[in-house]
Every structure is written in structure tokens, then in C-alpha cells.
Structure 1
Amino acid sequence: MYQTETVVKKISVHQLFENYWKPDIWCEACKTCPYYGTLWSCPPGVPNAKEYLGEFSSVCLIGVKVIYDEETRKKSIGSEDRYRDLTYNKVRRTILETLLFMEEIEKNSLTVAAGRCEICKNCARKDGRPCIYPEKKRYSFSAFGFDITEIASKELKSPLLWSGNGLPEYDMAIAAYFVK
């Protein structure tokens, strides 16, 4: 069905902001997302990236490619969301669980998730309630205004792929682990 490849690259937080922080473009793009305003990990209401992440000195960028075999790509046509739930989203959850565990070991660290928060099946924000697990909630690169397409191609050497029909050759989950 699929296999994974992981790429990790450590850069300075200064370099991350200098080269990839484009909030005018990416925060505006968030407004077209179906999760905008419906999840606590998504805008509006996301902290200012420089204030939230500025105290850290370095960041490990983590890219996990979810590479689909040809049979899966053919079968997925018209059912991409179902296949991504079984593959890509499973990998994203594993990355988050692993990085949250690392945060427990290294207290001066913080995770930026690969995509939206999925800790709860239904986010409390939809009902106008506060986050149920604020200690586990993590924001994504896009929510902060980082250009994940450039991070993927320039730092992780794996351009993001898109497919109009079925799954692409691979999907890539991009997370980050910030340390002081």
C-alpha cells in the first residue's frame, strides 16, 4: 500500500524566519481552507509566530514522505480522503505522538505539527468552547505563515506533489521540533 521515507534537517530559527516566513501569503491562503475558524490549531487566533517561536535557537525540520505504490494510487481515484486516513493521516498522528513524547524528555522544546490538530474527533471550537487539550494542541507551519512548499523543496529536497485525480506519487508530512 505505502512505504515511508524520513528526512530531517536542522537549521537556525533565524534562518527559518528569514527564508520561509511569509505570513502575508500563507495566512491569507488559510482563509480558503475548510478548517479556517473551526479548529483551535487554525487561524484566526493563532499566536504571532515570532513571539511564539522566537525564543528558540534551532529547529529540526522533519519530512516524512508517504510513498504510494501504483496499485494504491489507481484504487484511490475518487476515494483519496479514505486512503489518506489510512496512510498519510496515520503517519501525521505518529509524528505528533513521537514529538510530544520528545517534548516530555527535553523540556525546552516545542513541536509544530504536520497539518491541523486531530487530537479530538470534533474540535470544541465548533461549539464555541475552549480547547479540551491545550497542552497537546499544536499549530501547523501553514497556520504560522511558513511557506511549506519552499521548506519541502529547499531544505528537505522533496518538492510537494499534487494530483488532480487520485493520490500523487507521495504525500509529505512536514513537522518541526524547536529547541532553545
Structure 2
Amino acid sequence: MPFQYHVREMTAETSVEEFVTRFVRVEKFLPFCQQCGSYNTRWTCPPFDFDPMTIWRSYTGLRLYARILQADVPEQPLDEALAALKQEKRLYRQELQRWERETPGSQMLLAGTCDQCETCEKVQGHPCGRPELLRYSIEALGGDVEGCLQHYFHLPMLWGRDGKAPDYFVLVGGLLTK
């Protein structure tokens, strides 16, 4: 049976300066990235040939966007929930792309790693095959997603366990503005 859920959306506005001061710690979060299967296999994930702080410093505002997949039934199978999360991530990206199109000079920040190509060209040592779609996530740029989720949206991060989905999943990203 498919994951039964409904979607809630929340936004919060902050300055990049405040966000960086409170939540960006590139050195602290890089070891977590190194444990992920996307590390050094996707152009949107570390290690980078640039300092992530250059991106943060290029903007002044940040509109955070949380898309919450709230389970309608407790303890649903985790694999069904992850399939729904993958589908919602596409819708989430579409919304952020709309924001980016409507806001000149902005750059969206995705939730998690890029999944636009089945196999990233980085694995073969080639440039990104779809550079017009290449966008980074808050965590890839050293941001504490769990901390910002608690601070701005008053929600703890929940995780599935023992093959069961949590009460909710949250996709957290946003839009950097000039």
C-alpha cells in the first residue's frame, strides 16, 4: 500500500548573515558528507574546487522552504515512505525553480543531493551534463539543516527506524537572494 500522507509547507525569511552565523559550519559538516554515497560522486556534493562560503557571501537574503510529508497513519513501511519522498522531492524542486525564475539574481538551495541524472558525469571525470540544473543543498555548503529546522520551523528532525517511517519527513532548502 502506498505511503499515506498529506503535505504541509512552511517558509521563513532570514538574512544570509544571520543564517551563516548560526548554522553554517563547513568544517563540522564535511565529515558527515564524507560518509554519504554521494560524496565525490556528484557535482553538487563535496569536495568542491571552491570555498562554499563564496556562495553564501554572494547573497544577502534567504527564504527557507520546508515541505513536510506528514504521515496519516503511524508506522508505515519505510520503503513506501521513501518512494513518496522521492516523488515529493521533484515537486519541491519545481517550486524552488519557480521561485528562482521569478526572482532575478537568486539561487535555489535544494534538499539533499542532486538526482537530475541517473549517473553523475563526475564519476567519469566529465563536467556536469546539465549545468543549467546544477544547484547545491544547504548541507553540501556546510549548513546545519537539523538546527535550522528546529530554529525556524520549530520541528525536530525525525528518522525512520526498524523499517518504519517516522511521523513526518521534511525537505529543507530555500532561495538565496541578492
If the length of structure 2 is used for normalisation, what is the TM-score? 0.91
Check whether the contact 1:100–1:136 (CA below 8 A) recurs between aligned residues: no
Where does residue 138 of structure 1 map in the other structure? 135
For 1:24-39, what aligned pairs fall within 5 Å after superposition?
Answer: 24-39=27-42
Shift, 1:157, TM fit:
1.1
Deviations 1:32-65 (A, max 9, x none): 1111111111111164222112121110011111
Where does residue 113 of structure 2 map in the other structure? 116
For 1:59-74, what aligned pairs fall within 5 Å after superposition?
Answer: 59-70=62-73, 73-74=75-76
For 1:151-170, what aligned pairs fall within 5 Å after superposition?
Answer: 151-165=148-162, 166-170=164-168
Shift, 1:104, TM fit:
2.0
> Which amino acid in structure 2 is aligned with residue 102 of structure 1?
W
Where does residue 101 of structure 1 map in the other structure? 98
The alignment status of 1:17 with 2:20, answered yes or no, reads yes
Shift, 1:147, TM fit:
0.7
Give ranges in structure 2 of 5+ residues lacking alignment: none
With over 3 angstroms needed to count, the CA separation of the structure-2 counterparts of 1:125 and 1:81, relative to structure 1, is farther
Alpha-carbon distance in 2 for matches of 1:170, 1:46: 35
Check whether the contact 2:20–2:56 (CA below 8 A) recurs between aligned residues: no
The alignment status of 1:8 with 2:11, answered yes or no, reads yes
Check whether the contact 2:10–2:65 (CA below 8 A) recurs between aligned residues: yes
Shift, 1:101, TM fit:
2.5
Check whether the contact 1:6–1:64 (CA below 8 A) recurs between aligned residues: yes
SS state at 1:62 partner: strand
SS state at 1:143 partner: coil
Where does residue 176 of structure 2 map in the other structure? 178
If the length of structure 1 is used for normalisation, what is the TM-score? 0.90
> In structure 2, which of residues 33, 48, 51 is the aligned counterpart of residue 48 of structure 1?
51
Where does residue 85 of structure 2 map in the other structure? 88
Identity of aligned residues (%): 23
Alpha-carbon distance in 2 for matches of 1:82, 1:39: 25
> Which amino acid in structure 1 is aligned with residue 168 of structure 2?
Y
Shift, 1:134, TM fit:
1.0
Shift, 1:133, TM fit:
0.9
Alpha-carbon distance in 2 for matches of 1:125, 1:82: 30
